[in-house]
Chain A
Amino acid sequence: QTVVTQEPSFSVSPGGTVTLTCGLSSGSVSTSYYPSWYQQTPGQAPRTLIYNTNTRSSGVPDRFSGSILGNKAALTITGAQADDESDFYCVLYMGSGIWMFGGGTKLTVL
């Protein structure tokens, strides 16, 4: 069974840049999977950040950007801020109406 992979945790310094990735246990992620990214803080609903690989959702600052890097989708945060500390999830469209989330990355800003 295919699994969507994400780094379990990542750390970044304030003002720094971090790239989180979203891969497949077998195969490569391409734009055909329409990767999207969501941010979630504890006790809150997810917030949509990026869709269709690299389109920012309304109101999302341009510090957040999406791309394909090699065989994975990627979320890059430049100029990390303290309130970026949260969980980040990617989701891929697997076709035939089926979607699959990655396990999420817990980002620490310190």
Chain B
Amino acid sequence: QVQLVESGGGVVQPGRSLRVSCAASGFTFNNYPIHWVRQAPGKGLEWVALISYDGSNKYYADSVKGRFTISRDNSKNTLYLQMNSLRVEDTAVYYCARAEVHYFDYWGQGTLVTVSS
């Protein structure tokens, strides 16, 4: 069955960097684009980024553009989100979600990133 497992979350100081990962299994990873979506504590869902199946195209929300980089390693069935210049407002649970045509069909359980001094 399709599984997406995020990891790498933790506590980081403002201005520092962190990389979170999403390990995929149960499907042909290199056939699908993948999203990152985040949810601040007690708040709604926010789309963060999307990467195409081969990594050649990347798209970002304005709130993270220039600070976050989405990437993937299809040989390892793994998606990444490199987060630089972190801000307190980046504190959230970060979910990866498989992209079907024009929707999100499978979601991971999320990893919590806390930005705090």
Contacts and interface: CB of A to CB of B under 8 A. Distances in A.
Interface range for B = 20 to 34
A36 B47 CA distance: 13
Interface in A44-86: 45-48, 51-52, 57
A87 B42 CA distance: 11
B100 interface: yes
Contacts of A45: 95, 107-110
Interface range for A = 20 to 34
Interface stretch (A9-17, A20-28, A95-103): A95-103
Contacts of B76: none
- Give the one of B57, B95, B105, B106 with max A CB within 10 A: B105
Given A46-B95, A104-B45, A93 B102 contact: yes
Given A38-B45, A48-B103, A104-B44, 12 more contacts: A36-B102, A36-B103, A36-B104, A45-B109, A45-B110, A46-B45, A46-B95, A51-B103, A91-B103, A91-B104, A96-B59, A101-B47
Interface of B: 35, 37, 44-47, 50, 57, 59, 61, 95, 97, 100, 102-110
Interface of A: 34, 36, 38, 40, 45-48, 51-52, 57, 87, 89, 91, 93, 96-104
For the complex of A and B, the 10 pairs showing the least CB-CB separation, nearest first, are A97-B59, A51-B103, A34-B102, A36-B103, A104-B44, A99-B47, A45-B107, A101-B45, A103-B44, A89-B45
